[in-house]
Structure 1
Amino acid sequence: MKRPPKLKLFNDPIYGFIRIPNNLIFDLIAHPYFQRLRRISQMGLSYLVYPGAHHTRFHHALGAMHLMQQAIWMLRQKDVEIDPQDAEGLLCAILLHDIGHGPFSHALENELFRGMDHEVLSLRFMEELNTVFDGRLQTGIDIFQKTHPKPFLNQLVSGQIDMDRMDYLKRDSFYTGVAEGNINSERLIAMLSVSEGNLVVDAKGIYSVEKFLMARRFMYWQVYLHKTSLAAEQLLIRIIRRARLLYQTGGLQCPSPSLSYFLNLPEAQADISGAEMKTFALLDDVDILAALKSWQQDSEPVLALLCEMILDRKLPSIKIKDTPVAPERVEKKKRQFMKATGFDAEEASHFVFSGEISNQTYSPHTQILILEKNGEVSDVARHSRHLNLESLSETQTRYYICYPKKGI
């Protein structure tokens, strides 16, 4: 007897009601691997700058799936063939595309499972789930890996204008209150079409594309790479590195068994076992916050102070400039901090440091294709009069120095 569909609605503050289309999607959402995303912050430590930014990867995954349902419907209205298997694959791929994120998302990328970014881990989670669901995720895995023979399916999940980017820009703009990052996702989806197998945008949607690119550029430099968020995330990275050193030498207790496991891992992982996947699936923001609260009381002064700085938001000063920071300036700030605290040079390096950040708004290697009324297809750069896509295609790099404020 065919199992009746489990019809469920999520009430989302961005889109209203989000519908779960079938039993497979329902069961994927109900799986513990996916439920864990409720405890993974979408924007890392950005809530220290934008108090409303407490939304999670769970929110984002559901929102991206909702947009994918709209895109499938719209393309079918334009006589684009998307069979039920491909449609289900699209929904699985976009729903699970971020399932491999660790605690605080990008803030600790490559710090717990060193040498493995979230996309590699997402694929491993999808492969594990594919076994659980008797191979029904294989089309979604092919799309996620960009190996599906229909390119536009791959591009809907990972491209210049995909459902992932459409949701996180709109959602992050909403929760941070940064209106400049808002985009009209409905208009963009309505302008999508397919030509010669590739995803394209109708020419009359060019202004929506321009708004999308400018919103993305603004959100990266003013929100995702905000200097205060950057300083907080760099402190968190240094906490994990310090904790790992102390834990591996027997000088630290860890309140979380799953976090303890990853603190004890060697320098880099070439692969990940099924048992390690299950351990990683037990790790989320709660483990990190519990550890910070515990280590704040630790007798090791460097780790304790670093934890206190995040928990009490006593964040360091950070200066960002267009040219590299002179080593002499870093050393000067370090000597000042050493004199004020009594820390040695190695200890002071956890508090005074420099680095660089970079971003590319538009990649010419994965173009946004514009479809003219006459059927001609060309890159958006040919059509836009308001964007300097040559500038947007360049990788912009900036440099920073962090050092504690007086009184810390």
Structure 2
Amino acid sequence: MAKPLGKLHEEKVFKDPVHRYIHVRDELIWRLIGTREFQRLRRIRQLGTTYLTFHGAEHSRFSHSLGVYEITRRIIDIFQEKQTWDPEQRLLVLSAALLHDVGHGPFSHSFEKVFGVDHEEFSRDIILGDTEVNSVLLQMGEDFPKQVAEVIAKTHPDKLIVSLISSQIDADRMDYLLRDAYFTGVSYGNFDIERILRVMRPTEDGVVIKSSGMHAVEDYIMSRYQMYWQVYFHPVTRSAEVILSKILHRAKELYETGYTFKRELSHFKTLFEGSVSLEDYISLDEGVIHYYFQGWMDEEDPILSDLCIRFIDRKLFKYTEMVSFTDGHLLSAYFQEAGINPKYYLVVDSSSDLPYDFYRPGEKEERLPINLLKPNGEIRELSRESDVVEAISGKRRTDHKLYFPLDLIESIKDESLKTKINEILHK
């Protein structure tokens, strides 16, 4: 086997608007960044359709992944002198931090829901399969790719290194809050990361926070809460996601019924058939999706054409608060009567977030708590010490919106029918 990769002859740096500089000292990390699978992340936006709401949100999963790596590198530097930290795990953690999002597809979650794919599975496939990423990782040992995949999947036996990448206060969350706030131009996501890094301590069961840093963690949790409701769940962004999802559903439905597309579906066939390969998946990025959407604007199918025009030209659906089941049923019937297909033009979308959760063993999507280290060595769960965090702990907030095309409603010639629809929508 080849000699494991060591240090670079000279440190490489990336200029970064959030962390100022991202430092790369290891040949392993430098080579991983250069792989085609990692470079693909330059062509996938971090925030999906959010750029249609906040025009600055054009940053990529590539820049976010570098940011997660950099925060993890800084944490490890702080941990180096602590007895509970194993320096032999350094490159494993850094690799997992860098590659944690490598399997994301174009427009991420909307794309996954339509085609039933899982970016976490594709991350594992990229790390373990016949890829450039895998060939680089193998230079650190035959078992190294498997260990990296286990850290990302949260199945690695070392709870400490898993918690650095995936917990309620991890490098991933810290970077995306700061980065997303910066590029959307909002202040909600800002918190004192320097303070939090200084008070993080390693234990066998994961990272803990010195109790003197509790207020910085409170600020971080409230920043996350505000970002979800002011940015991530913004109703205009959700409108764009609704249209994106309906475009993909419509194209899939047309394909299954034998519709002849003007443009060859070379990138979509295996997705529509549920047989997408790793190579097919890696070839997909947001540039490819936009290429098809722009072509589908001229399709003979009026629904696909209209939805693509709306997405490309930002002619989004309007929204209102969710109506009752009875009113929803009436609206659907009225849309049908007006010649507007409710399947594609009357859409309920729900968003839900749990800003902080205490430990609930055995429950689905179990979340490990944030623990505080008291001066006497006692470990206390955060919400037991913080009145601010206790107030929001375990409280899931959900928001339901109804999306519809106002322009199509306004164009209805039957004034009585139009009035009935508007009365329901504006109750």
In structure 2, the CA distance between the partners of 1:46 and 1:362, relative to structure 1 (3 Å rule), is: same
2:37 counterpart of 1:33: yes
Distance 1:51 1:246, change over 3 A: same
Question: Structure 1: which 5+ residue stretches go unaligned?
Answer: none
- Worse-superposed segment, 28-37 or 130-139: 130-139
- Indicate the residue corresponding to 2:106 in structure 1: 103
Q: CA deviation at 1:140?
A: 1.9
Deviation at 1:258, TM superposition (A): 5.0
Q: Which residue pairs with 1:10 in the alignment?
A: 14
Number of the residue aligned with 1:380: 382
Any idea what the Cα deviations from partners look like across 1:92-125, whole Å, max 9, x if unmatched?
111111111110122322323x1x3211221221
Aligned 8 A contact 2:383 2:393 in 1: no
Letter in 2 for 1:357: S
| Secondary structure of the structure 2 residue equivalent to 1:358 | strand
| Structure 1 residue 261 displacement after superposition | 2.6
Change (3 A) 1:4 1:374: closer
Q: Which amino acid aligns with 1:111?
A: V
Assess if the C-alpha contact under 8 Å between 1:64 and 1:164 holds in 2.
Answer: yes
Q: Is the 8 A contact 1:72 1:82 kept in 2?
A: no
The offset of 1:3, in angstroms, is 7.5
CA distance in 2, matches of 1:296, 1:53: 25
CA deviations over 1:18-64 (Å, ceiling 9, x no partner): 11221111111111111110001100100111000000100100000
2:72 counterpart letter in structure 1 = M
State the SS of the aligned residue for 2:77: helix
Partner of 1:179: 187
Instruction: Name the TM-score, length of structure 2 as normaliser.
Output: 0.86
Matched, 1:329 2:327: yes
Structure-2 change in CA distance of 1:320 and 1:101 (3 Å): farther
**CA 1:199–1:80: 2 relative to 1, 3 Å:** same
Structure 2 equivalent of residue 169 of structure 1: 177
Distance 1:176 1:256 in 2: 36
2: CA distance between counterparts of 1:64 and 1:235?
Answer: 31
1:50 maps to 54
Q: How far apart are the structure 1 equivalents of 2:108 and 2:314? A: 19
Q: Which moved more, 1:250-259 or 1:365-374?
A: 250-259
Structure-2 change in CA distance of 1:264 and 1:197 (3 Å):
closer
Query: Partner of 2:353 in structure 1?
Result: 359
Residue type of the alignment partner of 2:16: D
The CA deviation string for residues 68-97 of structure 1, in whole angstroms up to 9 with x for no partner, is 00000011244442223x110101111111
Number of the residue aligned with 1:305? 306
In structure 2, the residue matched to 1:156 is 164
What is the correspondence of 1:78-93 to structure 2 with a 5 Å cutoff?
A: 78-84=82-88, 86-93=89-96
Q: Report the equivalent of 1:349.
A: 343
Distance 1:50 1:204, change over 3 A: same
- The answer to whether residue 239 in structure 2 is matched with residue 231 in structure 1 is yes
The offset of 1:205, in angstroms, is 0.7
Separation in structure 2 between the aligned mates of residue 381 and residue 4 of structure 1, nearest angstrom: 42
Distance 1:301 1:139, change over 3 A: same
Verify the 8 A CA contact 2:85 2:202 in the aligned structure 1: no
Give the letter for the 1:38 counterpart.
R
- The structure-2 alpha-carbon separation of the partners of 1:5 and 1:172, relative to structure 1 and needing over 3 Å to count, comes to same
Task: Please tell me whether the aligned partners of residues 37 and 56 of structure 1 are also in contact (alpha carbons under 8 angstroms).
Answer: yes
Task: Give the match's secondary structure for 2:292.
Answer: helix
Q: Deviations over 1:334-361 (max 9, x none)?
A: 4554455x34xxx332011224221111
SS in 1 for 2:389: coil
* Cα distance in structure 2, aligned partners of 1:356 and 1:306: 20
Cα distance, 1:334–1:63 mapped onto 2, change above 3 Å:
same
Q: How far apart are the structure 1 equivalents of 2:165 and 2:398?
A: 27
Deviates more, 1:231-240 or 1:354-363: 354-363
In the TM superposition, 1:123-138 aligns within 5 A as 123-128=124-129, 129=131, 131-133=134-136, 134=138, 135=142, 136-138=144-146
Aligned length: 390
Q: Match for 2:149 among 136, 141, 154?
A: 141
Q: Which amino acid aligns with 2:184?
A: T
Q: Which amino acid aligns with 2:326?
A: E
Q: Measure the CA separation in 2 of the matches of 1:379 and 1:265.
A: 47
Query: Residues of 2 paired with 1:355 and 1:17: CA distance?
Result: 39
Residue 320 of structure 2 aligns with which residue? 319
Contact 2:42/2:63, CA 8 A, preserved across alignment: yes
Q: Secondary structure at the match of 2:388?
A: coil
Q: 1:256 to 1:59 in 2, by over 3 A?
A: farther
Shift of 1:383: 1.1
Q: What is the aligned-residue identity percentage? A: 32
- Distance in 2 between the 1:362 and 1:17 partners? 30
* Runs of 4+ with >3 A deviation: 1-4, 77-80, 254-258, 331-340
Q: Secondary structure of the residue that 1:143 maps to in structure 2? A: helix
Change (3 A) 1:168 1:117: same
70, 75, 82: which one aligns with 2:79: 75
Displacement of 1:407: 5.1
Unaligned runs of 5+ in 2: 360-367, 410-427
- In structure 2, the residue corresponding to 1:245 is in which secondary structure? helix
1:264 Cα offset (Å):
2.7
The structure that has the greater radius of gyration is 2
TM-score, structure 1 normalization:
0.89
Distance in 2 of aligned mates of 1:279 and 1:224? 29
1:162-186 CA-to-partner distances (Å, cap 9, x unmatched) read: 0000000000010001101112222
Q: Report the alpha carbon displacement of residue 243 of structure 1 after superposing the two structures with TM.
A: 0.2
Alignment CA distance shift 1:307-1:382 (3 Å):
same
Check whether the contact 1:193–1:202 (CA below 8 A) recurs between aligned residues: yes
Deviations 1:346-383 (A, max 9, x none): x3320112242211111223100000011000100111
* Residues 131, 43 of structure 1: alpha-carbon distance in 2 compared, 3 angstrom cutoff: closer
